Structure 1
Amino acid sequence: MTTTAPAPATEAAPTRRVTLAVAAAGISSFALLYAPQPVLPQLAERFHLDPGGASLAVSVATGSLAISVLPIATLSEVIGRRRVILASVLSSVLLGLALPFAPDFTTLLVLRALQGIAIAGFAGVAAAYLAERLGKAGVAAAVGAMIAGNTVGGMLGRLSSGFAADWLGWPGALGLTAGLALVCALLTVFSLPKSEAPPAGRRAKVLSGFRAALSSRVLLAQYAVALLAMGSFVALYNAAGFRLTGEPLDLSPAIASLVFLAYAMGTFTSGYAGRLVARFGRLRTQAGALVLTVLGASLTIVDSLICVAAGFVVLTGGFFAAHAVANGWAAAEAPPGARGQAGGLYTLAYYLGSSVGGTVGATVYGHAGWAWLIALAAAWLLLALLVSVLAAKASRH
């Protein structure tokens, strides 16, 4: 049975329409994924939890996303990318609308776990969908727009729930974010063009692609960077609300949520990292970004609002630059038949780091304080740097 070649983007799927649809899906998905982060102190108070327990509202979702992303990406090879993306955005919004009505923390965690599984459909499939629809000529700009949408979504979800928490409480804050996500999800539903049926031969190559994606030291090192750097990053942001609303800074939740504006720096540095790679190489750029993240995190130890704010801007810029380099390095290093699998494994490591690192970091903060959390995050970041350096050197011999 022969398959029909994808229609040119100018005929069946104009680049602008595809880009808009996927960017809207990214905003919806990542606004929902991280919306509970600014209201963790309110969840802790409502359900009588310590910071580590409250952080499960974030970690359960990112953990279920990490576990689900590879099976769902494989499923998309059989039933098609578009179906998976549409099911992802709609189901994640419906679950988001149900969150404010959770009668207890256990129910909230179950809903968040299901929401993470739903969001995995977009996170694990969107890049492959873009490659199939647009080809090499249009995919680079579209992927850039998708990443920007993801970043904007993460920032929008945090800011909307953080600002609304003072007036609406945590249920109203999460409901407001879900409403905003619904608008973006509907935009995706009505504008996302159909994708072609996957070639029959591709399904048989899935397992061989996984073997290839696990055979390179450089690839394994980039998965480790994703795991450790994301774990550090989410650990710091999970505890940020407690740090900013507690003594001695004592900010309101709405003002404390402004810390998430630091994500704007991440949007800039993730794009600029490509220029630095062209000039200095991947390893030097990644090393500089990881060290910058450590320096920014260290600056937040000072009990000064200016230092804490500046520290979050610096560490956010450093993290997103390191993530951009690692993600691009993994894509470039992956064999042609294993790029999808390498991307899936990188995504798995990234969100597994978010889940485990976020909970461990919040627990350390709750029991030992901010300085010990910074020490833990710095150790993870420096370990990521060491692993990447060793793998890069080994690959040259």
Structure 2
Amino acid sequence: MDSSQPAIKPYTPDESGFWRITLALMLASLLVFSTLYVFQPLLPIFVNEFQVSATESSFLMSAAVIAMVVGLFILGFAADRYGRLRLMQLSLGVTVLLLAAMPFTSSFEWLVVLRLLQGFFLAGIPAAAMGYLGEEVDPNHLGLAMTLYISSNALGGMGGRVAGGYLTDVFDWEKTLFILSAFGVAAALLFLLLLPSERYFTKGDQPLREDFRGMLVHLKDRYMLVLFLMGLLLQIVFTAIWTYIPFHLQSDPYQWPLKWISFTYFAYVLGVLAPPLAGRLSNHFGLTKVMFSGLFILIAGAGFTALQPVSWIMAGLGVLCSGFFIAHSMAAALVSKSADHHRSGASSFYLISYYVGVAVGSTAVGTLWETWGWPGVISTALVFILIIISLPVFKRNSGGGEEV
């Protein structure tokens, strides 16, 4: 910032700017994650309509996730170099246009191509949002802002799955995407109106190669690497349980129909409610302590799902969501708070590891399910959580001291 300009302080909850930022990013997050996950319950529909296999239908999810990982790296770098606000605006605009175009496609292959393009631009919001928050929000209140943003991730994921399945059952998949597109237009317009301009961002004037090296410095920081590893392991645990719980509930002794299983996604409501409370607590106890509390809640949730009574399994899924989103939101806030340069790049590396965890948790854990069933999945999840707890994330905070 220019020293001749009057001092500008980061936003706090006492200012309207804080809540404008929070609401704008929550709306963007709702759109991004509902769009990402709306296809998940619709895969059987595409199997019948396009005469593809179940594995081929899953390309509609995997293509978007893979492209999102690539987008997080490229767009995270672009956000640090050219600015975050315009990138997020572009991301939302392209996301909505592609969503509206999909019902007009006549082939499954073109639908996958559009999802691939969409996944890349979906990354624009998560790649830039945490860096934007890290610069514009007071560090003492970053935990609250970050957890509200993360809770909207959970709400978007739940909403996309539940609404996508319900609306497609009532109408068809094309009308479902049109309805989501209409929501996208409204969310994008409100985003444009609400989100304040960047006040702390300074456009990089370094040569491109030198700027790129600055972003890669995060990969040499052991503290950051530990947080990136945490994002990977957290998502492996969470994805593994949610990917194979339908198979568990469809098998003996439960024999649940798919309609009943879809109701288990309402456990995400606790994932929406828990992070804002955790954000408030982090203002008093610190990000790291609250994060470790979330990990112990995660252990309890995973353990409950190992019990046979279905009431314990349902309770366990709710507790699992609470613990996961608390730990994830605190880890994301630590990344943003600890990075003193290339914040969007640091956040992107965390999210890249996070979405790699989606792929590993959904596919690699399948062998455990096929060999050992639900006990194999849960045992592996518990081992991974214990590994996370043993990671030395308490050794440093952004101020260089210890945060325990």
Task: Give the CA deviation at 1:134.
Answer: 5.8
Gap regions ≥5 residues in structure 1: none
Aligned position for 2:86: 83
Question: Which digits, 9 at most, give the CA deviation of each residue in 1:36-79, with x for residues without a partner?
Answer: 233345456665545x6654433332222122112112223444
Alpha-carbon separation, structure 1, partners of 2:141 and 2:370: 47
SS of the aligned residue for 2:242 comes to: helix
Mean alpha-carbon deviation: is it higher for 1-10 or for 370-379? 1-10
Aligned position for 2:73: 70
Determine which of 329, 351, 356 is the counterpart of 2:334. Answer: 329
CA contact (8 A) 1:55 1:358 kept: no
Aligned position for 1:210: 215
Aligned position for 1:96: 99
Equivalent positions of 1:145-294 (< 5 A) are 145-195=148-198, 198-201=201-204, 203=206, 206-207=211-212, 209-244=214-249, 249-251=254-256, 253-274=258-279, 285-294=290-299
Q: Is 2:38 the counterpart of 1:35? A: yes
Q: Is 2:381 the counterpart of 1:377? A: yes
Question: Which digits, 9 at most, give the CA deviation of each residue in 1:255-313, with x for residues without a partner?
Answer: 43322222222233323445666787766654553343244234334454323211211
CA contact (8 A) 2:130 2:336 kept: no
Task: Give the letter for the 1:325 counterpart.
Answer: M
Task: Give the CA deviation at 1:237.
Answer: 2.3
Alpha-carbon separation, structure 2, partners of 1:367 and 1:168: 39
CA contact (8 A) 2:72 2:127 kept: yes
Task: Give the CA deviation at 1:242.
Answer: 4.6
Task: Give the CA deviation at 1:221.
Answer: 1.3
SS of the aligned residue for 1:125 comes to: helix
Question: Which digits, 9 at most, give the CA deviation of each residue in 1:134-178, with x for residues without a partner?
Answer: 666886654444333333222221221132243335555444434
Question: Which digits, 9 at most, give the CA deviation of each residue in 1:208-263, with x for residues without a partner?
Answer: 54344223322211111101111221232234445456665455545433222222
CA contact (8 A) 1:66 1:350 kept: no
CA contact (8 A) 1:213 1:339 kept: no
Aligned position for 1:127: 130
Alpha-carbon separation, structure 2, partners of 1:240 and 1:4: 59
Change (3 A) 1:73 1:331: closer
Equivalent positions of 1:44-59 (< 5 A) are 47=51, 49-50=53-54, 54-59=57-62
SS of the aligned residue for 2:388 comes to: helix
Task: Give the letter for the 1:374 counterpart.
Answer: I
SS of the aligned residue for 2:132 comes to: helix
Mean alpha-carbon deviation: is it higher for 193-202 or for 18-27? 193-202
Aligned position for 1:343: 347
Change (3 A) 1:42 1:362: farther
Gap regions ≥5 residues in structure 2: none
Q: How high is the TM-score relative to the length of structure 2? A: 0.79
- Provide the aligned length of Structure 1 versus Structure 2: 391
SS of the aligned residue for 1:271 comes to: helix
CA contact (8 A) 2:25 2:129 kept: yes
**Identity rate, percent:** 28
Aligned position for 2:28: 25
CA contact (8 A) 1:6 1:133 kept: no
Mean alpha-carbon deviation: is it higher for 247-256 or for 34-43? 247-256
Task: Give the letter for the 1:27 counterpart.
Answer: L
Q: How high is the TM-score relative to the length of structure 1? A: 0.80
Task: Give the letter for the 1:358 counterpart.
Answer: S
CA contact (8 A) 2:131 2:343 kept: no
